[in-house]
Amino acid sequence: MAKNIINLLIILAVLLTIFNNININSNTQLLNYSKFVQLIKNNKVRTVIIDGSFINGEHKDGSKFKTIRPTIEDPSLIDDLLNHSVSIVGKEQTKNSIWSKLFISSFPILIIIAGLLFFMRQMQIQVGGKKGGPLVFGNSKAKLISKDQIKITFREVAGCDEAKFEIEEVVEFLKDVQKFTKFGGKIPKGVLMIGPPGTGKTLLAKAIAGEAKVPFFTISGSEFVEMFVGIGASRVRNMFVQAKKKAPCIIFIDEIDAVGRNRGSNLLGGGGHDEREQTLNQLLVEMDGFESNKGTIVIAATNRPDVLDKALLRPGRFDRKVNINLPDSRGRENIINIHLRKIPLSDDVETKIIAMGTPGCSGAELANIVNEAAILAAKRKVKLVSMFDLEKAKDKIIMGTERRSMVMSEKEKRNTAYHEAGHAIIGLLMPEHDPIYKVSIIPRGQALGVTMFLPKIDRYCYSRKQVLSHICSLFGGRIAEELTQGFSGVTTGASNDIKCATEIAHNMVYKWGFSSNMGPIMYDEYKINNQLYNRTLLKSINTFENLDKEIFNIIDFCYFKAYSILKRNIDKLDLMAESLFFYESINLNQIQQIMYGVFPQTD
């Protein structure tokens, strides 16, 4: 509506401008005032029409002219006209011309008003209800997806079997409410999905609606909060009003932490954002107020449950809390199989191997790997996606894109080969270390080379021996440089390795109780009401010194352990470095050949 008003005003202004500037006759001659006076004195003017500052006249030969009177009054003009027998006609200003000039002069103000109307509409401050009804501030931005539009079911969801099992009860509630209410049971009002990004929280919510065949309202938490106080609360009310009309239905709020954060959680411990807090208060009332929301289930998703307000998390609002974690090996295999359904595959594709090689990957990352494999196959102009394409896509997602354009000198390339060979050999020979998968000196991302270790099974906790083995392998690259180039030839390439090793040693002493002298005590920071505190005042200077000594002892032990292993296997270090320099990338089979003292051959 506001756009139409702006367009209409512009058109009217243009038409009035054209109308006021158009000449009565296209042949009208424009004269300056001096020429006009001279024509009068030469008896060449027959008639003049005086219209304010404009004078329209007619020559005695019948031609027309036009001139503009100067600002300074000319008292002799009328006498000159009468003395030379010129017919004088005066023109009265009409009301229409006055209004048109007034409209043109006020046109900028009208444009500003129309612009404000347009922006008010964009902010959802608009007329609602019936024609001529009252103003409704903050109409809901929730998008309604009808039950016929939702094609996603539990068949398209994998890698979260426990979450699906919990959610199936909600589907049963929506399908047959009477089945549970006749025993006195109440339908759950809310389900909170908690999990890392990309684990399928939104997908699972859509699958619930698809399985239950009910309407699905979807909105992001950030869409409630606006600059003006009260709009967000109004949107919440409006959304629940719409949902009640469609009940039974699902309201899905993505990233609810944008609106559901702890009230009064600013840096000083009090106060807060009035608009966000009022929106949260309204959400709390709608979910568990005096009015019942029969058949309306709120499903919310977040990866930050620690910042949510306690009133939002209590039973009666979010009755169910469903944790959706990163998928295990079997779950990753099922996810990959789902995404490969519509992709033509060659016979050599083994999804189990891809699943084992992607520990810690979310469902979104696995979908990205499959998509990258399809793109690589299209670039190669082949008809089927092969294992080669999937392996390449996996390396690209996990290790980064190859930087083939990066030119390295022969000396730097050889030093990188020794660095990565040091990591690989220590990882192979340390007890309980993750198996090696691939070594490459092709620059990827920010790294000049990559050594990949992949566990045979998914691990959720690590022993002290495994952690020490990992620190030793981190120092393998620097030690290899030191053995081949001398201490003065060590480069900065090991900076990230040293950082990771130091952080692990710090956690061993401060968090995990892996120090024999300091005992199983938590020395690091802790949280109270989501606020970080440091227990500095509870530690003496002597305790700090002992903690530092324990970290130094762990680092020294791992460094010299790795040093002795590499020194005993210097011949294998040289052979692996030469193989990397020659092939640039070597796999597990080639690494095993090197460990037997044989220069590796390609598969």
DSSP state letters, 278-294: HHHHHHHHHHSSSS--T
The pLDDT of 200-213, averaged and rounded, is 84
CB 22 within 8 A of CB 28: no
Q: What pLDDT, on the 0 to 100 scale, is given for residue 5?
A: 54
Which of 188-192, 211-215, 225-229, 512-516 has the least mean pLDDT?
Answer: 225-229
pLDDT of residue 107: 65
Distance from C-alpha of 431 to C-alpha of 562, rounded to nearest angstrom: 12
**In this model, does residue 27 exceed pLDDT 80?**
no
Residue 205 has pLDDT above 80, yes or no: yes
As given in the structure block, the two tokens for residue 240 are: 């629940």
Task: Kindly report the three-state secondary structure assignment for every residue of 461-486.
Answer: CCCHHHHHHHHHHHHHHHHHHHHHHC
Q: How many CB atoms lie within 10 A of CB 267?
A: 7
Confidence at 267, pLDDT banded by 50, 70, 90:
very low
CA 156 – CA 351 distance, rounded (Å): 17
The highest-confidence range among 71-80, 183-192, 242-251, 556-565, by mean pLDDT, is 556-565
- Residue 137, phi then psi, degrees to nearest 5: -90, 125
Catalytic residues: 420
Q: How far is CA 152 from CA 163, 207, 407, 458, in A?
A: 16, 5, 48, 29
Band (429; pLDDT cuts 50, 70, 90): very high
Burial class (CB in 10 A: 0-12, 13-18, 19+), 286: buried
- Written as six digits, the tokens of 53 are 């500052």
pLDDT tens, position by position, 97-106 = 556 666 666 6
- Find the angle CA(547)-CA(548)-CA(554) to the nearest 5 degrees: 95
Q: Residue 132's pLDDT is what?
A: 40
Q: Does the pLDDT of residue 2 top 50, yes or no?
A: no
Q: Phi/psi zone of residue 327: left (φ > 0), alpha (ψ -120 to 50 degrees), beta?
A: beta
Calculate mean pLDDT across residues 155-162: 84
- Average pLDDT value for residue range 58-67: 84
Provide the angle, in degrees to the nearest 10, between the axes of the packed helices 2-21 and 95-105.
120
Span 332-356, average pLDDT: 90
pLDDT range class, residue 11, cuts 50, 70, 90: low
Give CA–CA dist 222/181, Å, rounded: 35
Q: What are the pLDDT digits (tens) for 490-506?
A: 999 899 999 999 999 99
With cut-offs at 50, 70 and 90, classify the pLDDT of residue 258. Answer: confident
**Residues 444-472: what's their mean pLDDT?**
85
The predicted-structure confidence for 279-311, as pLDDT tens digits, reads as follows 888 888 888 765 555 678 888 999 888 888 888
Query: What's the confidence (pLDDT) of residue 580?
Result: 92
Lowest mean pLDDT among 253-267, 330-344, 364-378, 586-600: 253-267
Quote the CA–CA distance of 575 and 586 in Å, as a whole number. Answer: 12
CB 68 within 8 A of CB 34: no
pLDDT band with cut points at 50, 70 and 90 for residue 468? very high
Q: How far is CA 363 from CA 124, 210, 329, 340, in A?
A: 36, 20, 12, 13
570-583 and 464-485 helices, crossing angle to 10°: 80
Residue 368 reports pLDDT greater than 70:
yes
pLDDT at 124: 46
Q: Quick one: pLDDT band at residue 344, thresholds 50, 70, 90?
A: very high
Cα(584)–Cα(542) distance, rounded to whole angstroms? Answer: 50
Sign of CA dihedral 498, 504, 510, 513: negative
Spatial separation of the C-alpha atoms in residues 134 and 126, rounded to whole Å? 9
Give the SS3 label for residue 142.
Answer: coil
Checking if the pLDDT of 321 tops 80, the result is yes
Amino acid 369: pLDDT: 93
Among the listed residues 72, 73, 48, 69, the one whose alpha carbon sits nearest the alpha carbon of residue 58: 48
Strands of the sheet containing 87-90, edge to edge, are 29-30, 64-68, 54-59, 45-51, 87-90
Average pLDDT over the chain, rounded to an integer:
80
pTM equals 0.68
For residue 3, pLDDT beyond 60 = no
Segment 450-469 mean pLDDT: 86
Those residues whose C-beta lies under 8 Å from the C-beta of residue 346, and which sit 6 or more positions away, are 384, 385, 386, 387
- Please tell me the distance from the alpha carbon of residue 361 to that of residue 332, in angstroms, as a whole number: 8
**Within a 10 A sphere around the Cβ of 305, how many other Cβ atoms?**
16
Predicted confidence band of residue 127 (pLDDT cuts 50, 70, 90): very low
Distance CA 147, CA 56 (A): 73
- Where residue 551 falls among pLDDT bands split at 50, 70, 90? very high
Looking at the predicted structure, is the pLDDT value of residue 185 above 80? no
- State the pLDDT confidence band at 19, using cuts at 50, 70 and 90: low
Residues 6+ apart with CB under 8 A from 297: 170, 173, 174, 187, 188, 189, 190, 191, 248, 249, 250, 251
What does the pLDDT read at residue 96? 52
Q: Which of 75-84, 101-110, 544-553 has the lowest mean pLDDT?
A: 101-110
What's the CA gap between 300 and 254, in Å, rounded?
6
pLDDT of 9 over the 60 cut: no
pLDDT above 90 coverage of the chain, percent: 22
**H helices, E strands: number in the chain:** 21, 18
> For tokens 């990959």, what's the residue?
336
Helix (H) or strand (E) holding 412: helix 410-429
- What is the model's pLDDT at position 558? 95
Cβ–Cβ < 8 Å for 406, 433: no
Q: What was the pLDDT predicted at 85?
A: 78
Report helix, strand and coil shares of the chain as percent, to nearest 5.
50, 15, 35
Which pairs with CB-CB distance under 8 Å and at least 24 residues apart come from 352-355?
A: 353/387, 354/390, 354/391, 354/394, 355/329, 355/330
323: CB partners within 8 A, 6+ apart = 162, 163, 194, 195
Cis before 248? omega within 30: yes
Q: What is the DSSP string of 480-521?
A: HHHHHH-GGG--GGGHHHHHHHHHHHHHHHHTS---TTT-S-
Q: How many CB atoms lie within 10 A of CB 293?
A: 19
Question: For 479-483, what is the mean pLDDT?
Answer: 94
Q: What average pLDDT does this structure show over 259-270?
A: 63
pLDDT of 410 > 80? The answer is yes
- Is the separation of the CB atoms in 133 and 127 below 8 Å? yes
- Strand 45-51 and strand 54-59: the pairing is antiparallel
pLDDT at 461: 86
Please answer whether residues 173 and 267 qualify as being in contact, where contact means their C-beta atoms are separated by less than 8 angstroms.
no
Q: How far apart are CA 63 and CA 139, in angstroms?
A: 65
- Tokens describing residue 497: 């390795």
